[in-house]
């Protein structure tokens, strides 16, 4: 068990660079299953979720080499001889279910543990499964696993190519990112054309499509709500660089807004974060960009203004930055309101933030934030990845010492978080339980 100990109130200054995007890297790693030869991925973040996806791929018998120092990952899927994502790994990381689309597409069968609920909501995979069915697969749920196979043969057709999925018209009830990604990967080797209507439009979807196109896939319309995929017979290995992580960039924006100084955030793509950056501007923070994808935040002498926020799929306000911006709004005088529309259980962190002196009331899927003058340090718990990052930001801004527990959640998605914050002047230390026993 490790924790972060933060001595709050330090001013942040300087430049920090954003790592590769977690939510792009994980999907592109899964998509590497589709390649008949070696895939080389650059800018892979050295985070726990990537380690879990490495384990998933190894379980499937792929060869994987991760050069952490260089952030380069090599995946060779030519020896894959297993089609099962086991419960231990899916339980650890839901994104493990993203191997289903590529396995079904390439080998005609997959067995993947049904992910349960998680700390931010129920998070079903019904849209993924309905889409597989539309592409001609049959799904059954047995002993906690979904078994999908192309055609009627439930034993599947590993390696023979005898059963291929068939292109179809798919209408998603909700622009789910995971479903869009899984179905795009399932359709690339299907026979004929697939259209995904009401598709997700996030930049990570475009990154995944660009990766698949570099392997030889035929995809158009990404970035719109209608994606067209014309199936091809084979995809080859490739070399690809993962896009930078927008949520990490947004996290540093809020850290700087709370504690700058002048902070420059390199590899922060404004277009992917536009509505978030505009909301930050609306609070009165001085936020600007340069032509080389750097965002610059300057502390303003003026009092912050409250704002209203509604989370929505892209291009709406990203739900992943909801807990993070709540910390900033908890110190903006007046009433701010956040409406969470994507996940039903994403305000778990509020009780912890209130223990640090914030004044936030939850009413259904709305948070009513009454800004306070200051937060005060306290021992707090990270409920999930982004809630954990929010606790760290609150600790940076708070008076006194904050200890954030359960930081394994944070390590799932932030590379060298405490080191990057430390390089800007934050007083944050990683403490391992063993250190405390000495
Ligand atoms: C991804 C991101 C996550 C982000 C979320 C929303 C990854 C690894 N995770 O998660 O960080 O918060 O997008 O931007 O990329 N839903 C269903 N049935 C389905 C699929 C989804 O009801 O089959 C619901 C979910 O319960 C949720 C909503 O749709 O309420 C959005 O889910 P989705 O966009 O699929 O999120 P993920 O891909 O799981």
Which residue's CA is the closest to the ligand 1 atom numbered 17? 124
Cα separation, 139 vs 148, whole angstroms:
4
Ligand 1 binding pocket mutation candidate from 27, 132, 178 (most atoms within 8 A of CB): 178
pTM of the model: 0.95
Q: How many CB atoms lie within 10 A of CB 130?
A: 16
Q: What is the pLDDT of residue 160?
A: 41
> Does 237 sit in the ligand 1 pocket, CB within 6 Å?
no
> Does 320 sit in the ligand 1 pocket, CB within 6 Å?
yes
Which residue's CA is the closest to the ligand 1 atom numbered 39? 178
Q: What is the pLDDT of residue 30?
A: 97
> Does 342 sit in the ligand 1 pocket, CB within 6 Å?
yes
**Catalytic one of 118, 157, 226, 259:** 118
Mean pLDDT in runs of 10 for the chain (438 residues)? 96 98 98 96 97 96 96 95 89 92 94 78 85 96 92 47 84 97 98 98 98 98 98 97 98 96 97 97 96 91 91 97 98 97 93 98 97 97 96 98 97 97 98 65
> Does 125 sit in the ligand 1 pocket, CB within 6 Å?
yes
Q: What is the pLDDT of residue 438?
A: 42
Ligand 1 binding pocket mutation candidate from 20, 47, 123 (most atoms within 8 A of CB): 123
Ligand 1 binding pocket mutation candidate from 139, 184, 342 (most atoms within 8 A of CB): 342
Cα(184) to ligand 1 centroid in Å equals: 15
> Does 360 sit in the ligand 1 pocket, CB within 6 Å?
no
Atom of ligand 1 nearest to the CA of 49: 8
> Does 381 sit in the ligand 1 pocket, CB within 6 Å?
no
> Does 123 sit in the ligand 1 pocket, CB within 6 Å?
yes
Range list of H helices, 215-273: 246-259
Cα separation, 152 vs 203, whole angstroms:
36
Cα(128) to ligand 1 centroid in Å equals: 11
Which residue's CA is the closest to the ligand 1 atom numbered 31? 176
> Does 128 sit in the ligand 1 pocket, CB within 6 Å?
yes
Cα(177) to ligand 1 centroid in Å equals: 6
Cα(274) to ligand 1 centroid in Å equals: 20
Which residue's CA is the closest to the ligand 1 atom numbered 1? 177
Cα(152) to ligand 1 centroid in Å equals: 29
Strand order in the sheet with 401-405: 379-381, 401-405, 2-7, 427-432
Cα(200) to ligand 1 centroid in Å equals: 10
For residues 194 and 232, the answer to whether their CB atoms sit within 8 Å is no
For the question of residue 118 being annotated catalytic, the response is: yes
State how beta strands 109-113 and 84-85 pair.
parallel
Q: What is the pLDDT of residue 81?
A: 83
Atom of ligand 1 nearest to the CA of 125: 23
> Does 279 sit in the ligand 1 pocket, CB within 6 Å?
no
DSSP assignment string, 17-41? E--B-HHHHHHHHHHGGGBSS-EEE
Q: Is 134 in a helix, a strand, or coil?
A: helix
DSSP state of 438: -
Distances (CA, A) of 78 to 37, 159, 173, 291: 6, 10, 35, 41
> Does 24 sit in the ligand 1 pocket, CB within 6 Å?
no
Cα separation, 116 vs 26, whole angstroms:
19
Could you give all domains of the chain from N- to C-terminal order, each with its CATH number? 2-18+244-436 (3.65.10.10), 22-234 (3.65.10.10)
Cα(176) to ligand 1 centroid in Å equals: 5
Cα separation, 182 vs 205, whole angstroms:
10
Cα(178) to ligand 1 centroid in Å equals: 6
Q: What is the pLDDT of residue 152?
A: 56
């Amino acid at each position: 068990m490790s924790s972060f100990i933060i001595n709050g109130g330090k001013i942040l200054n300087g430049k920090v660079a954003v790592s590769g995007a977690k939510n792009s890297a994980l999907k592109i790693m899964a998509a590497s299953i589709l390649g008949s030869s070696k895939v080389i991925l650059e800018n892979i973040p050295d985070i726990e979720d990537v380690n879990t996806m490495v384990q998933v791929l190894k379980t499937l018998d792929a060869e994987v080499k991760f050069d952490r120092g260089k952030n380069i990952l090599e995946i060779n899927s030519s020896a894959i001889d297993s089609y099962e994502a086991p419960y231990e790994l899916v339980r650890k990381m839901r994104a493990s279910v993203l191997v289903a689309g590529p396995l079904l597409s390439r080998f005609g069968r997959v067995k993947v543990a049904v992910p349960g609920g998680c700390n931010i909501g129920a998070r079903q995979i019904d849209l993924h499964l309905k889409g597989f069915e539309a592409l001609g697969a049959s799904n059954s749920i047995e002993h906690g696993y979904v078994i999908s196979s192309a055609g009627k043969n439930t034993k599947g057709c590993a390696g023979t190519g005898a059963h291929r999925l068939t292109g179809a018209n798919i209408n998603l009830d909700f622009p789910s990112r995971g479903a869009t990604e899984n179905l795009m990967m399932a359709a690339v080797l299907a026979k004929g054309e697939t259209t995904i209507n009401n598709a997700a439009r996030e930049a990570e979807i475009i990154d995944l499509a660009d990766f698949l196109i570099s392997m030889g896939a035929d995809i158009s319309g990404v970035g719109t709500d209608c994606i067209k995929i014309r199936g091809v017979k084979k995809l080859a290995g490739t070399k690809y660089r993962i896009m930078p992580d927008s949520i990490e960039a947004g996290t540093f924006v809020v850290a700087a807004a709370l504690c700058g100084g002048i902070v420059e955030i390199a590899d922060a793509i404004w277009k992917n974060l536009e509505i978030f950056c505009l909301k930050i501007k609306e609070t009165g923070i001085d936020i600007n960009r340069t032509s080389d994808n750097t965002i610059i935040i300057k502390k303003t002498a003026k009092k912050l203004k409250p704002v209203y926020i509604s989370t929505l799929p892209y291009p709406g306000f990203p739900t992943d930055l909801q807990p993070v911006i709540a910390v900033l709004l908890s110190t903006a005088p007046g009433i701010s309101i956040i409406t969470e529309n994507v996940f039903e259980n994403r305000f778990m962190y509020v009780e912890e933030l209130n223990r640090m002196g914030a004044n936030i009331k939850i009413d259904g899927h709305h948070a009513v934030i009454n800004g306070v003058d200051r937060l005060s340090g306290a021992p707090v718990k990270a409920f999930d990845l982004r809630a954990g990052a929010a606790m760290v930001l609150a600790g940076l801004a708070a008076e006194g010492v904050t200890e954030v527990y359960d930081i394994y959640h944070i390590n799932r998605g932030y590379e060298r978080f405490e080191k990057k914050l430390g390089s800007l002047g934050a007083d944050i230390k990683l403490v391992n339980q063993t250190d405390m026993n000495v």
